[in-house]
Chain A
Amino acid sequence: MRILLVVGVDPWTRSVSTVHKYAAAAKAQGHEIVVFGPAHWELPTLNFTTDLSDIDLALFVVQVPSDFPDMPYLATLLDGLPRERRMLVDMWGRFNDTIRLEHDFNHLEKMDGHQGWEWEDAMQAASDVILQPTLSPLRPQVGSFLFHGFDPGSVLRAHTTAKKAAAAWTDREFGALYVGSNWQRWEQVHRFFEGYRTIRDRAGKACLVGWDWDERPQWAEKLGIKGVDTDKAFLASVGAETRSAMHLNEVVERLGKARFAPVIHRPLFRHLGLVTNRTFETFYADAIPVLMLPRDFVASIYGEAGLALVPGPDLAAHLDDALTRAEFYWDAVLQVRGHLGRHHSYAQRLGELASLPTTAPRLGAAA
């Protein structure tokens, strides 16, 4: 199959890493993944095209407005590829009624200028198969497709036993490291570091890598957007430093320079059960993930073993216990990696993708 991904790719953010994984997995299976649009000089290993002649299936991967191709490419795509070969995965839950949780929204009109109806109309224009990366979409006419996946070959240090992993879990540059931008995550980040404070001396310094952690950005102030908060004094008090965003190729290795790697989903994603690249990617790193996620979500995605990596109400105790009983936690990590490899590989995702045109629910009426 020749599968076209219609998505804005940026080497620094969003789904670019997953797109690379699809390309590699497809190649291994004798398929081909191509990305719609002109070639991107920073992403030389991806195949870009605007030639639609041999495309078997197209998947619009929609996070932000710029994931819809600009004109004239949009016209080329919508006119050139039959509707029945197009599907759309709504990565951020736009295809829902407006949801507000804490400061988080699925329709961020102040940020991108679009109200809910605009997203719905545009998505229905692209396809009558709308998917969301959650196991349980809210709307019956929306299908489930997690999109992101796990590539066992990408695990940086594939320890064969928990004992070996625990033994190697020493001499890290950081005690904890979080990679992700400051967007609707501050409450959870704050909670993590509040707990981390008590073990900092034992575990080592902490670091936040991503955009806008050092100070609340001016654009957020100007637009009156909350949920992009930070507290320099607090971060200093827990010994957490901030660094700017990193290239996709550096994330896993950098995470492995820490003992703990928290996995944090923004409130909207927690509510909708949406997965992200980091949901899976964190398990490639040579660090113990701290799953700051709902337990039922963890069990359904990571398997029962993942629950050992979910801190209870006393986060400090959880981290302290991990430092004390590293082998127990590494055993959970290895079990989760096995589970992810069995249930969420990109080979499986490609299989799901191929069957979705016949199995996914379709919107009642064409747009």
Chain B
Amino acid sequence: MNILFVMKHRGNAGNTHAVANYQRVAPRHGHSVAIYGTPIWYVPELQFSTDIKDFDRVVYVFESDPYRIKTLHEAVMLTHFSRSKRLILDSDGMYNPVVNIDGYDFNHRNEAEREWWIAYFDAIGDRVMQTTVAKPANPRVSAMTFYGYNETLQVDPASAPPKQYDIVHVGHNWWRWRQVSSELLPAFEKIRDQVGEIGFIGLWWDAPPPEGPAAGPEEAFHSDPEALRRLRVKVTNAVMYHDVIHTMSSARINIMTQRPVLSHLRHLTLKYFEVFCADTIPMLMLEEGHAEAVYGPAARELVLTGRVAEKLLDALHRPDHYRGVVEDVRKHLVTHYSYDRLIGELVGALRN
């Protein structure tokens, strides 16, 4: 099956990296995968195509803004792929009722916005897959893991980069500040003198996007650069998707956060899996039950919530123990989330 993804593609975004993994394994299973568009010079390994007629199925990937291609191209796309050959992948929980987490993060600002999205999805296709481990309430929606674990990217400690950081957070500041400022920074404050370099690597930790409101809600990018400076947190810019795991491997501990609305909806992101490829100890700011559901029982020990400072110090002091836990989680991930397995799930959904 030749599968075309219509999606916002960026070299520093998880969805793009996930599709790159599908591209990698697809030929082994007699399939091919491309992203609609023209090549990006700085990620030449990504396969793009505008030859719509070469493909059998299309997957529209929607994040929290509606990605659109040129209308003339869309006409060809819609004509070539009948509704039964289209699949919508909802990675940001937009095909849901309005979810507002404590007046902070939300999937829709209001009911009118939600209705617009639902109409948009319904116009494109009949099947919506959400990247969640929860069972969707809407009968038109199915859950799909989509993001997977690429064992070949696992970093061998012998070839890992020097540990420049004790603790690092790799990810953009997109609805993260509340959790970071209320749980993580107070913990840093307690243990700052006992910890080496701390880094935040990603966009919008030091300033909101230059494009202003067009980039999204202002509060999604809110941060306090001064607080980060005071705690001697080094902020550096985002890295390309193929450097994420290497970058994570430059720290003894990686902290994984998730935006509140996706956490509430139990959505997965690629970061769930990338962090376990890195030569590091992932510490998860996730709800325990959810962490266990995704990673298996061993992961409970990696959950930070409620005991951040103590756990961070413990991980720094007992790295061998935690490496053992990480190995247990990796085994679980290899069994359940390999892309060789996931492409079967994807093709099955597209055939169904």
Give A residues with C-beta under 8 Å from B: 65-66, 68-76, 78-79, 113-114, 118-119, 121-122, 125-126, 367
CB distance from B194 to the nearest CB of A (A): 54
CB distance from A122 to the nearest CB of B (A): 4
B82 contact set on A, CB distance < 8 A? 79
Task: Tell me if B73 and A74 are in contact (CB < 8 A).
Answer: no
Task: Tell me if B75 and A72 are in contact (CB < 8 A).
Answer: no
Given contacts A75-B78, A121-B76, contact A114 B70 (CB under 8 A): yes
Q: Does B158 touch A at the CB level, under 8 Å?
A: no
A71 to B75, CA, bound (A): 10
CB interface residues, B 200-248, toward A, < 8 Å: none
Task: Tell me if A72 and B76 are in contact (CB < 8 A).
Answer: no
A-B contact pairs, 6 of them (CB 8 A): A66-B71, A70-B71, A71-B123, A78-B75, A118-B72, A121-B72
Q: Does B187 touch A at the CB level, under 8 Å?
A: no
Task: Tell me if B78 and A125 are in contact (CB < 8 A).
Answer: yes
A70 to B119, CA, bound (A): 13
Task: Tell me if A79 and B76 are in contact (CB < 8 A).
Answer: no
Q: Does B109 touch A at the CB level, under 8 Å?
A: no
CB distance from A364 to the nearest CB of B (A): 16
B74 contact set on A, CB distance < 8 A? 68, 71, 74-75
Task: Tell me if B75 and A125 are in contact (CB < 8 A).
Answer: yes
A79 to B119, CA, bound (A): 14
Give B residues with C-beta under 8 Å from A: 66, 68, 70-76, 78-80, 82-83, 119-120, 122-124
Given contacts A121-B76, A367-B76, contact A68 B124 (CB under 8 A): no
Cβ contact of A75, chosen from B72, B76, B80, B123, cutoff 8 A:
B123
B68 contact set on A, CB distance < 8 A? 71
Cβ contact of A65, chosen from B66, B72, B80, B124, cutoff 8 A:
B72
Task: Tell me if B72 and A79 are in contact (CB < 8 A).
Answer: no
B72 contact set on A, CB distance < 8 A? 65, 68, 114, 118-119, 121-122
A122 to B71, CA, bound (A): 9
B75 contact set on A, CB distance < 8 A? 68, 74, 78, 121-122, 125-126
Task: Tell me if B78 and A68 are in contact (CB < 8 A).
Answer: no
Given contacts A74-B78, A125-B76, A125-B79, contact A113 B120 (CB under 8 A): no
Task: Tell me if A74 and B71 are in contact (CB < 8 A).
Answer: yes
Task: Tell me if A367 and B80 are in contact (CB < 8 A).
Answer: yes
A281 to B152, CA, bound (A): 70
Closest 4 CB pairs of A and B: A72-B123, A122-B72, A125-B79, A75-B123
A79 to B124, CA, bound (A): 9
Task: Tell me if A71 and B66 are in contact (CB < 8 A).
Answer: yes
CB distance from B36 to the nearest CB of A (A): 14
A76 to B74, CA, bound (A): 12
A367 contact set on B, CB distance < 8 A? 76, 79-80
The residue in chain B whose Cβ has the minimal distance to the Cβ of A113 is B70
A337 to B124, CA, bound (A): 48
CB distance from A209 to the nearest CB of B (A): 31
Task: Tell me if A75 and B70 are in contact (CB < 8 A).
Answer: no
The residue in chain B whose Cβ has the minimal distance to the Cβ of A73 is B123
Task: Tell me if B73 and A75 are in contact (CB < 8 A).
Answer: no
A119 contact set on B, CB distance < 8 A? 72
CB distance from B37 to the nearest CB of A (A): 14
B80 contact set on A, CB distance < 8 A? 125, 367
The residue in chain B whose Cβ has the minimal distance to the Cβ of A367 is B79
A113 contact set on B, CB distance < 8 A? 70
Task: Tell me if A118 and B73 are in contact (CB < 8 A).
Answer: yes
A315 to B326, CA, bound (A): 88
The residue in chain B whose Cβ has the minimal distance to the Cβ of A60 is B75
Cβ contact of B83, chosen from A79, A122, A126, cutoff 8 A:
A79
Task: Tell me if B71 and A65 are in contact (CB < 8 A).
Answer: yes
Task: Tell me if A71 and B70 are in contact (CB < 8 A).
Answer: no
Given contacts A65-B70, A65-B71, A113-B70, contact A71 B120 (CB under 8 A): yes
B119 contact set on A, CB distance < 8 A? 72
Task: Tell me if B76 and A78 are in contact (CB < 8 A).
Answer: no
A122 contact set on B, CB distance < 8 A? 71-73, 75-76
The residue in chain A whose Cβ has the minimal distance to the Cβ of B86 is A75
Given contacts A78-B79, A125-B76, contact A69 B71 (CB under 8 A): yes
A119 to B66, CA, bound (A): 24
A79 to B75, CA, bound (A): 10
The residue in chain A whose Cβ has the minimal distance to the Cβ of B124 is A75
B78 contact set on A, CB distance < 8 A? 74-75, 78-79, 125
A119 to B70, CA, bound (A): 11
A69 to B74, CA, bound (A): 10
B71 contact set on A, CB distance < 8 A? 65-66, 68-71, 74, 122
